[in-house]
Structure 1
């Protein structure tokens, strides 16, 4: 049995490592069903909504903690009651397993709220 994404840990990725192929992406997406893969398969994005600014910033801080712990950092767009997160692995020019792991861990934050 495969370990769920949210229980895995990001691994260092060196330049020259290949991005995930479409078949692998398709097998991982069911674990993070609310995330959207970019048309060019280079990123995962999702928008989260909150009751107010305080809840939004608390969520952003929790995502920052995940990013620090996993040494994998997203792009964030933050507004009053929303946060759009985009995970991508620049070193591979596309998606890596690390993006899916961090997306799953981010989903766990929402479930805990």
Structure 2
């Protein structure tokens, strides 16, 4: 079940950041307020995955959007998560913190 949950979260992050990956039958992004419903479930403690699981399963080289030029730099779980969270949580000004964090671990 952990693998299915992780795959769902990675797909959600990618489809949010790269709308070209969505199709007309997308059940999350084409229904009003469905993303907020998914977001509320992601916040529940019993639904949370360890971040390292997502990082281990995420392989940016296998994502077709990696050839999209400047958007290719977004292809990390941290940056994809940041993009989704800043939008849904309405927070600003943490991009500089992200640069500090990623430069520390790279």
The structure that is helix-richer by fraction is 2
Question: TM-score scaled by structure 2?
Answer: 0.28
Q: TM-score, normalised by structure 1?
A: 0.27
